[in-house]
A and B are shown apart, each in its own frame.
Chain A
């Protein structure tokens, strides 16, 4: 169509002009322009974007587990920006400067945070005249060829009755590990990761940077929610995608009240600065998939904006889960009697005798009993398989939370034995044995100098010029090795504009943000 228009510009006459424009889809309702003589350019009907991709405020997952190699410490991990394509240049994946990434710790079970670990970020661009992420091979974090560098602070806030009583900076201007641009640009990414693992004051260890997305599932499992079934699952649709992570390992004694009350509640929130200059909470996340699967559409956004203190508002969704009725319809697994006290334990209070603090106020948080020793042989189904060091006692990277939650909702804990699942049982990449445990990010494929058209493999042969690489419009989409399917495309923030747009649309309502639309 546009081709017609382009040749059309050479035509003569009004009809041809209109015709060419029409061929390009030129008739629109958008063009109400206000002008008297000349062209006041003020369109009286501005059509601003409705859909916007802002994945840097989109928190995907939270993990909390007793460190397997250092059982007196607890590791906290939280991830942002789902579906990072390895070849996501030229700007790659920056941490936002107008956001706060918070992990809250409730050490007495009253649904109020007693500690907040707060990450904030700062960006430096060495050469503002180029859009390039790196200008040549990057072999260390302080390599001058890394054109865009980020640093972070961590503040530890102590609260009493929701008032901040003290703030301590435990990390100050530490380096963020960059996006893994590609082997040509970053021949030894592991070295960059290792350089980015830093000690923080008070005896903790920190890593901030890119990682392989540790979550594994077949997104088609969510077809259950609208009448599909599990007959076509079994492929990890997150394979080959990265996330931006923050990981922190701290002495467990710092988190808990006392050795006698070793269970803590953990959740993350994301705040961003609004137009009026106030911090606004745009995301909240504790247990995986709760907002996606348990909370109905109309309340998903409200859930993101609310605090655990008020989670009684959502209690009934846990007690009477729609998913259980759907499973009954599809699989004939009789839904357990409501109200579902078993699910209240899993999602809101912790399981009695395992990870339920005394006098707990029901609230959506990961509940980790820090005194349970790490398991030498972690079971993917965690507590359901007799491994009390796993979900729902905290959450380890290897815990198969999709299967655990499906089986729990279907009544596993109240005698409805079942083996529901999405047939994806492990991450495609192995996790490490030491902090930060996350797998290295999948490497992108950009050559060392995107600006010189130096590209290889997936990223070339598309007629994309060096200019494309420079203009921020990364039109080409690298295809993960095993091909892409609709589920991923629909969810893929990194598929460029559309992915971002569609994530902005909330197509990823099935993961974390649970944004309904």
Chain B
């Protein structure tokens, strides 16, 4: 397999590059003499800060403060949490180590303090250690039942472990104790996963009404855009993502959301331009695959393959950094690569956490490998909570078709296309084609 070998070689190059570029690129620790004092004392001329430069500056100020007052355990915990937030907005996992160190300092100064325990939970979740996140969040809440970030991380962990009933209860509790953007966004997602789109939208709108920070406005607007996109309401999706980009022009999820809405409306060129922009800055599997599929839908096979190989490279990189990427592997490989690897990865992920997403990935990987009967069980599980995801319905329909359940297949495929007719540049036409085969037309 020359392709595989080339991909492997590319990945090797990339890992080396990554080490060169990220290793030591960030000076951390802030011990005495590590770095100059941050330039926060007011120069008369204000500077235009890049996106989240303010957060960076806040972090710099915190570090300077901690050099002067190294016993301030709350600020150490705060610094750790701020690093997690930076990692989220920047996509830089090196910051997780920095977060760990700051939180360690905090706990050394004041063992068991809830601020640091909540920070631990946030870092664990970011690293996909959801059992650990749940444990740390619970420890923080035992200390302080009102800790906002522990309440939020607890919901995250339960969602990612597929414990949706417990997640809903945790969301209700969090909402009763600490209403606000962090809890509202999670509350809405938990409701959406259970099929309650109306509540999800209402709660996100409430979050947006109270949001003042550009980052919050961008996040919540994008969540509303994604919700609208999943319902096939592309005009609203574009409006919401536009609002997100006005709040923060560099917010990549908003750009990706806009790209998908444009693609769904048939504006492929604009969608490709957006996704290229996203991928150039952060080659995450989601947008990379989306871009590859847009190329493929336009018949640009070579460019598409390049994107699919980039996913392989990303996965290799992620593994090199200790991030579990089995789900990405499964999803990318099932459609565009090595089916056996897809199944291995999907089974591994399913063993770790049983969510609608991992069920869908396993169902599809089984189908790709010809295990349709077994796949059907998981396809049912993926669609059992009422979560409105057209892709899951499409996968289910194709698997039902493969197992001879023609009526069910027609129902699933129609539901997918009714829900979100432009859910995928390759999947939507494939769904219509399957319906035609079954004599239904669309």
> From A299, which residue of chain B is reached at the shortest CB distance?
B144
> From A470, which residue of chain B is reached at the shortest CB distance?
B246
Q: Which residues A452-478 have CB closer than 8 A to chain B? A: 458-459, 461-464, 468, 470-473, 475-478
> From A461, which residue of chain B is reached at the shortest CB distance?
B45
Give chain A's interface residues, CB within 8 Å of chain B. Answer: 1-2, 5, 8-9, 14-15, 17-57, 91, 96-98, 223, 225-228, 272-276, 278, 280, 282, 297-299, 301-302, 304-305, 458-459, 461-464, 468, 470-473, 475-480, 482-487, 489-490, 495-502, 504-507, 509, 515-517
CB pair A298–B214 under 8 Å, yes or no, is: no
CB pair A517–B74 under 8 Å, yes or no, is: yes
Measured CA separation A461–B141 after assembly (Å): 47
CB pair A489–B280 under 8 Å, yes or no, is: no
A301 — which chain B residues lie within 8 A by C-beta? 144, 146-148, 177-178
Measured CA separation A509–B147 after assembly (Å): 13
B287 — which chain A residues lie within 8 A by C-beta? 33
Q: Name B54's contact: one of A14, A304, A498 (CB within 8 Å).
A: A498
Q: A32-B325, A50-B152 are in contact. Are A472 and B210 (CB under 8 A)?
A: no
Q: Name B394's contact: one of A25, A36, A459, A484 (CB within 8 Å).
A: A36
CB pair A501–B55 under 8 Å, yes or no, is: yes
B358 — which chain A residues lie within 8 A by C-beta? 44
Binds A, one of B10-18, B28-36, B401-409: B10-18
CB pair A30–B327 under 8 Å, yes or no, is: no
CB pair B331–A52 under 8 Å, yes or no, is: no
Nearest-neighbour CB distance to chain A for B72, whole angstroms, equals: 4
Q: Name A98's contact: one of B206, B282, B428, B430 (CB within 8 Å).
A: B206
Best-buried of A9, A97, A516 by chain B (most CB within 10 Å) = A516
B78 — which chain A residues lie within 8 A by C-beta? 502, 505-507, 517
Q: Which residues B42-68 have CB closer than 8 A to chain A? A: 42-59, 61-62, 64-65, 68
Indicate whether B442 reaches chain A with its CB closer than 8 angstroms: no
Q: Name A51's contact: one of B82, B125, B153, B211 (CB within 8 Å).
A: B82
Hey, what's the 0/1 contact readout for B399-439 against A, CB within 8 Å counting as 1? 00000000000000000000000011111101000000000
Q: Given contacts A28-B93, A49-B185, A305-B146, could you give 18 more A-B pairs where the C-beta distance is less than 8 Å? A: A18-B283, A22-B18, A25-B90, A26-B282, A27-B314, A27-B317, A33-B331, A34-B389, A34-B391, A37-B430, A51-B82, A275-B175, A275-B206, A297-B115, A489-B40, A495-B57, A498-B53, A517-B77
CB pair B147–A517 under 8 Å, yes or no, is: yes
B423 — which chain A residues lie within 8 A by C-beta? 38-40
Nearest-neighbour CB distance to chain A for B400, whole angstroms, equals: 15
Q: Name A297's contact: one of B114, B184, B285, B390 (CB within 8 Å).
A: B114
CB pair B172–A15 under 8 Å, yes or no, is: no
CB pair B77–A40 under 8 Å, yes or no, is: no
Q: Name A36's contact: one of B58, B128, B160, B335 (CB within 8 Å).
A: B335
CB pair B56–A26 under 8 Å, yes or no, is: no
CB pair A486–B72 under 8 Å, yes or no, is: no
CB pair A18–B57 under 8 Å, yes or no, is: no
Measured CA separation A33–B326 after assembly (Å): 11
Indicate whether B321 reaches chain A with its CB closer than 8 angstroms: yes
Nearest-neighbour CB distance to chain B for A228, whole angstroms, equals: 6
Measured CA separation A35–B286 after assembly (Å): 7
Nearest-neighbour CB distance to chain A for B149, whole angstroms, equals: 5
Q: A98-B206, A517-B149 are in contact. Are A485 and B212 (CB under 8 A)?
A: no
CB pair A54–B282 under 8 Å, yes or no, is: no
Nearest-neighbour CB distance to chain A for B83, whole angstroms, equals: 11
CB pair B13–A52 under 8 Å, yes or no, is: no
> From A39, which residue of chain B is reached at the shortest CB distance?
B290
A275 — which chain B residues lie within 8 A by C-beta? 171, 175, 179, 183-184, 187-188, 203, 206
Indicate whether B118 reaches chain A with its CB closer than 8 angstroms: yes
Best-buried of A30, A299, A497 by chain B (most CB within 10 Å) = A497
CB pair A50–B81 under 8 Å, yes or no, is: yes
Q: Name A44's contact: one of B21, B152, B277, B327 (CB within 8 Å).
A: B327
Q: A41-B257, A301-B178, A497-B54 are in contact. Are A473 and B290 (CB under 8 A)?
A: no
Measured CA separation A28–B85 after assembly (Å): 12
> From A45, which residue of chain B is reached at the shortest CB distance?
B160
Nearest-neighbour CB distance to chain B for A462, whole angstroms, equals: 5
Q: Which residues B259-296 have CB closer than 8 A to chain A? A: 260, 276-277, 279-287, 289-290, 293
Hey, what's the 0/1 contact readout for B151-186 against A, CB within 8 Å counting as 1? 011001001100000000001100111111111111
Indicate whether B229 reaches chain A with its CB closer than 8 angstroms: yes
Indicate whether B143 reaches chain A with its CB closer than 8 angstroms: yes
A228 — which chain B residues lie within 8 A by C-beta? 68-69
CB pair B74–A516 under 8 Å, yes or no, is: yes
Measured CA separation A54–B208 after assembly (Å): 11
